[in-house]
């Protein structure tokens, strides 16, 4: 029987990040993706212009139609007006990986508060923050490895710290009281929109294919770098991922 992954995030009209990217990355790995979009983020490759979030009643109704499915794994990022009690109910039905990509800013636009994320992180078993997000969640200016280890210790979750905001571009995985370090195979002279979304969605997909966290991170990063090399420019701003092939 095919595994089903549930995606909860906001829509990027560029189709370069967020809800639509999450869906296609998961399905590219042979996992059926279903989801609930939480809002719309009008944007250009230079950044997000505004954030419009759907009413909580819409989200609850959209989700109710999916609750009869056997959900094997979940990824949530920009939750918008998603009710916490509904989130708890959904996560309680998911037996596999429950990933939170704790996005605080999308394209420079504030979309979430650190206080809310600190409250809901314990509902998940994996989080995938970048360095600025980790520092705001912890309210500490630690180095990257220290951030990863502190998050794992404080919230009792597996942490993939995405290192794209550091000069070294090194990622860290803190899992079962161990730290694994993933230096980049190369550093590119350009940036691509949606890298964090793609990496966390690929991580979910590879975990659902039965890989252990260290192996899943390795495969997800390889997937990311393959698509990074194929990214295209739409003019000014960051490059955009092409459709997976």
234 CB-side CA count, 13 A: 16
- At 69, which CATH number? 3.40.1190.20
Share the mean pLDDT of the chain.
Answer: 92
130 beta partners: 162
The verdict on residue 28 lying in a domain is yes
Alpha-carbon distance of 122 to 161, in angstroms, equals 16
| Cα–Cα distances in angstroms (integers) from residue 152 to residues 93, 158, 159, 164, in the given order | 23, 6, 6, 19
Does residue 15 fall inside a structural domain? yes
End-to-end CA distance of the chain: 24
What is the model's pTM? 0.94
CA 216/CA 230 separation, integer angstroms = 22
Q: Is residue 63 part of a domain?
A: yes
Let me know if residue 168 belongs to a domain. Answer: yes
- Measured between alpha carbons, how far is residue 87 from residues 12, 39, 91, 169 in Å? 22, 16, 6, 32
Say what the pLDDT of residue 244 is.
55
Low-confidence ranges of the chain (pLDDT < 50): 245
Q: Within a domain: residue 236?
A: yes
> 142 in a domain, yes or no?
yes
Number of domains in the chain: 1
* CB 9 within 8 Å of CB 41: no
Residue 245 placed within a domain = no
| pLDDT at res. 172 | 98
Domain holding 203, by residue range, is: 4-240
| 89 domain residue, yes or no | yes
């Amino acid at each position: 029987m095919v595994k089903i992954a549930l995606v909860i995030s906001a829509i990027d009209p560029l189709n370069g990040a967020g809800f639509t990217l999450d869906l296609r990355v998961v399905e590219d790995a042979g996992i059926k993706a279903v989801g609930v979009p939480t809002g719309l983020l009008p944007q250009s490759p230079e950044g997000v212009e505004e954030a419009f979030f759907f009413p909580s009643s819409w989200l609850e109704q959209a989700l109710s139609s999916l609750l009869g499915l056997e959900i094997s794994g979940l990824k949530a990022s920009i939750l918008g007006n998603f009710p916490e009690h509904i989130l708890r109910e959904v996560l309680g039905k998911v037996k596999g990986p429950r990933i939170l990509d704790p996005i605080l800013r999308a394209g420079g636009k504030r979309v979430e508060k650190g206080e809310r994320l600190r409250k809901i992180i314990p509902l998940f078993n994996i989080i995938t923050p970048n360095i600025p997000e980790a520092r705001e969640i912890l309210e500490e200016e630690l180095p990257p490895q220290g951030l990863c280890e502190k998050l794992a210790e404080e919230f009792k979750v597996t942490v993939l710290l995405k290192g794209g905001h550091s000069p070294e571009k090194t990622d860290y995985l803190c899992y079962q009281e161990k730290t694994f370090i993933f230096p980049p195979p190369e550093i590119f002279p350009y940036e691509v929109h949606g890298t964090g979304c793609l990496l966390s969605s690929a991580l979910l997909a590879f975990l659902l294919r039965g890989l252990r966290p260290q192996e899943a991170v390795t495969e997800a990063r390889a997937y990311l770098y393959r698509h990074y090399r194929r990214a295209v420019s739409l003019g000014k701003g960051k490059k955009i991922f092409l459709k997976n092939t």
